[in-house]
A and B are shown apart, each in its own frame.
Chain A
Amino acid sequence: MEQIEWNLLVVNYLFLAGLSAGAFAISSFATYIGGPHFRRVARIGALIAPFPVAIGVGILVLDLGRPFAFYYLFLTVQFTSPMSIGSWLLTGFIVLSLAYAALWLPAPFDNLLRVPNRAHLKDFSQWTPLAPNTIRRWRAILAAIGFPLALGIGIYTGILLGAIPSRPFWNTPMVAQLFLFSAMSSGTATVLLVTALLGARHAHGYEEERRLLVSTDVVLIVLEIFMLVPFLLHHALSTWSSASSIELILGGEYTWWFWIGVILLGIVLPLIIEAYELFPVILKEGAARYSLALSAISAVFVLIGGFILRFVFVYAGQASHFLPLVTR
C-alpha cells in the first residue's frame, strides 16, 4: 500500500484485546485450580478482563471510515472473514466476561448480586441475594465457557493478520500462536503487576500465588520464543517475497523496534528477572526470591514488549508485499 492503513489505533486494539483474553484465561485457570491460595488471582483477573477489550473495541470503531455503520458487522456472519468471526467472538467474550466479573465482585459490592423476588420487584433491597454456592457454581460455569473464548480472542488477533496472503510478513501460521501466547503473557503480567502493587494484602498464600503467576509467565514467554524462532526461520527459508519481508526486522525499518522492544524488553529481560526469582526453587536450594519490585518491573517489561510486538507486526506487515514490486 502507498501508506499505512492500520495505525496505532489497531495496534492498541490488538494489544488490549489480547490483554483481556490473557487476564480472563489466568483467572479461569486459577478458578479451576481452586483453593483459597489462588482466589485473589482469579478475582483480579476476572475484574480486569472485560475493560481493556471494551476500550479496545471502542477505539477500533472510531478507526472505521464509517463508525456509525459498524452495526453492519452484526447483521451478517461471513465465515471466510476473520474479522466477522472475531466481531462475534469479541461480543460474546465481552458480555460473558462482564457477567463473570460481576460474580467476582469483592465485598461489600457482592451484595449487588441479587435476583428479583416476585413480591418485591420494585424494591431492589428486597431482592434475594445470590447464595454463595450459586455464585461459586456460576463462576465455574462461566470460567469454563469463557476459557476457550479467551483463547479464541488471543488466536483471532493473530489470525486477523496471518490469514492475509498478500502481506508475506504476516502470512504464516506462527503469527496466530505468537499472538496467543503473547496475549496470555500480557494478561498474566497485568495480574502479576496488580497483585504486586497490592502486596500481601488480601492474599491467602502469597508464596503460592507468586509461584503460579511467575512460573506461568515464564512458560508463556518460553512459548513465545518457540514461535519467534520458527517465524524467523520460516521466512528466511521461504519464497523471495517472504524472505525479503523479514528484512524489515533484520536490518530494515523495524529492526530496532523488534530486537530491542520485542526481544530484549519483552522477552529476555522479564525472563531473566523471573528466572532469578524462581532459581532457588528450581535448584531446590530454598525459598524463591519473589519481590514486589521485581514482579512489577518484569510485568511492565512484558506489557511494553507485548505492545511493541503488535506495533512491529501491524506496521511491518503492511510494508511487506509480493515481489517484484512494480513502481507506480
Chain B
Amino acid sequence: MASENKRRWGFVIEVKRCIDCKACMVACQVENQVPLGKHRNWIGRIGPTGTFPILGLKFEPGNCMHCDNPPCERVCPTGATYQRDDGLVLVDYDKCIGCRYCMQACPYDARYVDHEHGYVDKCTFCVHRLDAGQPPACVETCVGGSRHFGDLNDPNSEVSKLLATRDHYVVYAEAGTEPKIFYIS
C-alpha cells in the first residue's frame, strides 16, 4: 500500500506559455525570503532563432530539478543534502558546512550560497507549502499557465496527463541526473 501511495513530486513546464514576466521569481523571492541578488528559479532565454523576418524567441523557466539521481547529493561530504521519500532533494542546514562542492556538481546551477548563514541553499519545491497541501508559490502565481506541478506517480494528476499526451524533454538528459522538471516545447 505504502509504495502505491508514494508521491513523486515534479514539474511540467510549457515553454510556449512563458511570457518572461518573472512573476515566479518574485513570488519565490517573497515566499522563501531569498537573499537579494540570489534566485531559486530563473527564466532562460532560447533564441532569437531563425532568419529575419521569421524569428523566434522562447523562454525556458526553471528551478532545482529535484533529480531522481542528484549529483549534489552524491558529492555532499556531510550528508547535508538528502533525498526525501517523495523525491524532494533538500538541504539540512545544520549539517551543511558551505564547501560548495554541490554547486560544482549541479549541471543546472540551481544552488547559491546564503552568505548571511554560510550554507548553500536552493529551491525546495516550497516543501513547507506542499506539506500544508498547497502548490509551490511559483506555480500558483504563474500568469501564462506555464508551470504545472503535481504527483508524477498519480496517473490522474495534471502533470501525468500532460506527460502522457504531449512531447516533452528534460534539460541535459546526457548528465544522467533524471531531473523531475519536464518541458513541453
Which positions in A face B, CB cutoff 8 Å? 1-2, 5-6, 64-67, 69-70, 72-73, 75-76, 78, 80-84, 87, 163-167, 239, 317-318, 321-322, 326-328
Contacts and interface: CB of A to CB of B under 8 A. Distances in A.
* B interface secondary structure, majority: loop
Contact of B75 (A65, A69, A80): A80
Nearest to A87: B77
Given A80-B74, A81-B76, A1 B98 contact: no
A72 B78 contact: yes
Contacts of A75: 78
Given A81-B75, A81-B77, A5 B174 contact: no
B21 to A, nearest CB: 15
Contacts of A66: 96-98, 117-119
A239 B175 CA distance: 12
A328 B44 contact: yes
A interface secondary structure, majority: loop
A83 B175 contact: no
Interface stretch (B105-113, B122-130, B131-139, B161-169): B105-113
A185 to B, nearest CB: 26
B59 to A, nearest CB: 9
A241 to B, nearest CB: 8
B113 to A, nearest CB: 6
Given A83-B77, A328-B44, A64 B101 contact: no
Contacts of A327: 44-45
Contacts, number: 104
29 contacts: A1-B103, A5-B103, A5-B104, A6-B100, A64-B99, A65-B96, A65-B97, A65-B99, A65-B100, A65-B113, A65-B117, A65-B118, A66-B118, A69-B94, A69-B96, A69-B97, A73-B77, A76-B78, A80-B74, A81-B77, A83-B77, A84-B78, A164-B104, A165-B175, A166-B175, A167-B104, A318-B104, A322-B107, A326-B44
A78 B106 CA distance: 18
Contact of A65 (B46, B105, B119, B174): B119
B75 A73 contact: no
A83 B99 contact: yes
B14 interface: no
Nearest to B92: A72
A84 B97 CA distance: 12
B35 to A, nearest CB: 13
Contacts of B113: 5, 65
Given A69-B97, A166-B105, 7 more contacts: A5-B104, A66-B98, A72-B78, A73-B97, A76-B79, A83-B101, A322-B174
A64 B44 contact: no
A109 B94 CA distance: 45
Contacts of B76: 78, 81
A310 B114 CA distance: 27
A87 to B, nearest CB: 6
Nearest to B73: A80
B71 interface: yes
A233 B109 CA distance: 28
B95 interface: yes
**6 closest pairs, A vs B, by CB?**
A65-B98, A65-B118, A326-B44, A166-B107, A83-B77, A84-B77
B42 A328 contact: yes
Contacts of B105: 164-166
Which of A5, A82, A87, A166 neighbours the largest number of chain B CB atoms within 10 Å of its CB?
A166
A143 B13 CA distance: 59
Contacts of B18: none
